[in-house]
Chains A and B, each alone.
Chain A
Amino acid sequence: MTSSLLLFQLLNGLQYGVMLSLLAAGLTLVFGIMNFINLSHGALYMMGAFVGATTYNVSGSFLFAIAAAVAATAAIGMLIERLVLWRLYSRDHLDQVLVTYGFILIFNEIARTVWGVAPYYMAVPEFFSGPIRFLGIVYPSYRLVIVSVGVAFAIALYLLIHKTRFGMLVRAGSQDAEIVGALGVNVRKLNSVIFALGAGLAGLAGVLAGPIVSVEPGMGENILILTFVVIVVGGIGSVRGAFLAAMIVGLLDTLGRAFALPLLTMFASAQVAAAAGPALASITIYIVMALVLAVRPEGLFPVKGR
C-alpha cells in the first residue's frame, strides 16, 4: 500500500462524497421540512443522467448537457410534487414510501422504454479526458471536475441557504414548518421550490456521473440507499450535516472497499481475508451508520432547535 495509492483512493472518496452530497442535500431538505420520505430521488438522479447523456451526445456541449439535465429534473420534480406528492406530506411514512416506490417503477419503465435496457453510453467530455499529474500520481482530470463542480454548488447552496431570504425560509421550515405557514408564507409554493431544487441537484449529480458510471434503468436505487445513510448520519434536515456526512460516507466507503482486503491480510490468514474481505468492504458503511444511530440517533450534525 503506497502513499500514491492512498492519495488516489482519497481523491476517489472525495469525488464520491461530493456526488453523494449533491443527492443528500436535496433529500434531507425534503425530509426535514416536509417530513417526506422520497424514494424516487434516485430515479430523478437517473433521469438527470439520461437527459444529460442524450443532450451531450446530440449537442456535443457538456455545459448544455448539464443545463438540460438540471432543468429537466427540476421541472419533473416540480411537476410530480405539484400534481401528486404534496398530498402525502400529512400522511404517514408508509404511504409516502409506497407512492414514491411506485414512482421508481414508473421512472424506470420510462427510461427502459425511451432509452432501452442496455447501458447508455456517455463519453467523458474531450476537454477533461486527459489525466493530471500532481503529487506523484496520475489522476483522471474529469473526476477533479466533478469535485470542483460539486464544491462550487456546495458553496452556492450555502450562500443560498444562509444569505438569502429564501434560504432563511428554508432554515425556518426545517425547524418549525407550521410557524412559517402561520407567519403568512406561501408554504405550498415554498415546498414546491424546495422539492424542485432538490430534484435539480439530483439531476446535476446524475449528469456528472454519466461518463463514469453505467447509465441504465435502475441506476438510482443503489446510490439512493447510500444517500439515505448519509442523511441519517448527518442529521435529517441539516444541509451542513448532509455535506459533512456525505464526505465521511464517501471516503469511508471508497477507502473501505480499496483497503479492507489488504488490511485484513495483515491481521488474518489469507483464507479468512479472502472470505471476509469483500463482505466487510461492502458493509463497512452500514456498520458505521448503525453505530452512529445507536450512539447519536439525531445524527452527527443535527439541525439545532428541532
Chain B
Amino acid sequence: MSAPGIMQRFQYAVLPLAVLLAVGLPFYASFADKPFLVIFATRLLIYALAAVSLNLILGYGGMVSFGHAAYLSIGAYSVAIPSVSGIHDGLIHLLIAITASAAIGLVTGAIALRTKGVAFIMITLAFAQMIFFFIYSLKQYGGDDGLNIRVASRIAGVSLAGNQTQYWCALLALTAAAFGTHRLLQSNFGMVLRGIKSNEERMRALGFPTYRYKLAIYVVSCAICGVAGFLLANLTQFASPAYGTWMVSGELMLMVALGGPGTVGGPIAGAACILILEDILKRMTIHWMGVLGLLIAFLGIVMQRGLWARRTG
C-alpha cells in the first residue's frame, strides 16, 4: 500500500521530536515573546487538519477531490453568520460547522461519487465553485468582502480569542483527528476502503456496497474539514469565500501529495513542509510564488516517494 518514505524511516526520532516541538512551542513563544510563532503554528495545525481530512478520501480512497477547500469556508461561515446574529457559543458554532459540512458533503458526494476519474475531479470542482459563488452572493453577510468576527467562539466559558487557546484547540483537534483516522483505518471499515482503492471491482464482486463506503468516508472527511474551517475563522477573526477557492483546494492536494498519501503522518508532514517553505520563501524574495511553483513542479516530477510515505502506482 505505502512504503516508508524518508521521514517515516526516522519516525522513532521524528515523532518524539514533533511532539516535543508541538507541546513546547507555546511556552517557548511566550518566554521569547514571539507571539507570531504561535499564530503561525496554529495556522499550520489547521491546514494540517484539513490535509488529514482530504487524505481520507484522496490518500486512502483514491478520490481526487478538487473542491475540498469549500468545506473550510463552510466551517468558517458557521462561526461568522451566527456570530453576526449574536450567537457566540462555540459548541453551537462547532455543531453547525460539522452538520453543515456533513450535509452538504452528503449531497455533493452522493452525486459526485456516481462518476470516476476526471469527471469526479471536475464535478467536485464544480460544486466547490457553486458554494463559492453562493457565499459570494450573500451580500448581507459580506459577500466577497468577507465577514468580520468581532467576538470569538466561547466553549464552556473559555473564549477562543487568545493565541494560546487557539493553539491548544487546534493541536487537540489535529491529534484527535489523527488518532481517529488511524483507528478508523485499522478497523474493518478501513480495510474495506483500502480494498476499494486497490481494486473497486473486486470489492464489489466480493459483495461490498462500495458506493456507500465511499460516501461515508467522504462525509466524514467533509465534516472534519468543516472543523478546520471553524478553527480558521477563530484564528483570523474573519470569514471569506476566498477560503474555499480551487487554488486552496490545490494547495491541500499538494500537501497530501507531498507528504505521501495513505498514512496519518503524511498530510501533516506535507502541510508543515509547504507552509514553512512558503514562509521562508516569502522572507527571501518577492518572487516567492514563482520559486514555490518551481519547487512544486520539481518535486512533483522527481519524487516518487512522498516525505512520509511513498506513493504507489
Instruction: Report which A residues bind B (CB closer than 8 A).
Output: 31, 37, 39, 84, 87-88, 92-95, 97-99, 101-110, 112-113, 221, 225, 228-229, 232, 236, 275-276, 278-279, 282-283, 286-287, 289-290, 293-294, 297
Alpha-carbon distance between A118 and B24 when the two chains are bound, in angstroms:
44
Chain A positions within 8 Å of B126 at CB level: 229, 286, 289-290
Inter-chain contacts of A287 with B (CB < 8 A): 130
Question: Interface on B for A, CB 8 Å cutoff?
Answer: 58, 64, 66, 111, 114-119, 121-123, 125-127, 129-130, 133-134, 136-139, 246-247, 250, 253-254, 257, 287, 289-301, 313
18 additional A-B residue pairs with CB within 8 Å, beyond A109-B289, A236-B118, A283-B129: A31-B118, A39-B250, A84-B297, A92-B313, A93-B117, A93-B121, A97-B121, A97-B250, A99-B296, A102-B294, A102-B295, A103-B297, A109-B290, A110-B290, A228-B125, A278-B137, A279-B136, A287-B130
- Whether B289 and A105, one on each chain, are in contact in the complex, defined by CB atoms closer than 8 angstroms, is yes
B229 nearest CB across to chain A (Å): 20
Given A84-B297, A282-B137, A289-B123, also A94-B117 (CB < 8 A): no
Would you call A106 and B257 a contact (CB within 8 A)?
Answer: no
Task: Tell whether, in the assembled complex, residue A105 and residue B301 are in contact, meaning their CB atoms are under 8 Å apart.
Answer: no
Contact between chains at B300 and A225 (CB < 8 Å) = no
**Contact A87/B294 with A93-B64, A101-B254, A287-B130 known, Cβ cut-off 8 Å:** no
List A contacts of B290 (CB < 8 A).
105-106, 108-110, 112-113
Contact of A289 with B122 in the complex, beta carbons under 8 Å: yes
**Secondary structure type dominating chain A contacts:** helix
Q: Whole-angstrom distance between the alpha carbons of A103 and B292 in the complex? A: 10
Q: Quick one: given A225-B125, A232-B118, A293-B123, are A97 and B297 in contact (CB under 8 Å)?
A: no
Chain B residue nearest to A236 in the complex (CB): B118
Partner of A293, one of B122, B130, B253, B294: B122
Partner of A106 from B58, B66, B253, B297 at Cβ < 8 Å: B297
Residues of A within 8 A of B136 (CB): 279, 282
B160 to chain A, nearest CB (A): 30
Q: B293 touching A297 by the CB < 8 A rule?
A: no
The answer to whether B121 and A290 touch across the interface, beta carbons within 8 angstroms, is no
Q: How many angstroms from the CA of A228 to the CA of B128 in the assembled complex?
A: 14
- A232 to B290: give the CA distance in the assembly, Å: 30
**Of A103, A109, A275, A293, which one neighbours B119 at CB under 8 angstroms?**
A293
- The answer on a CB contact under 8 Å between A104 and B246 is no
Bound-state CA distance A88–B299 (Å) is 12
Residues of B contacting A294 in the complex (Cβ-Cβ under 8 angstroms) = 111, 114-115
- A43 — nearest CB in chain B belongs to which residue? B293
Bound Cα distance A236, B115 (Å): 14
Do A99 and B300 have beta carbons less than 8 Å apart?
yes
User: Are B293 and A93 neighbours in the complex by a CB distance under 8 Å?
Assistant: no
What residue of chain A has the Cβ atom nearest to residue B120's Cβ? A293
Give Cα A279 to B129, complex, Å: 11
A282-B133, A282-B136 known; A101 and B289 CB under 8 Å?
no
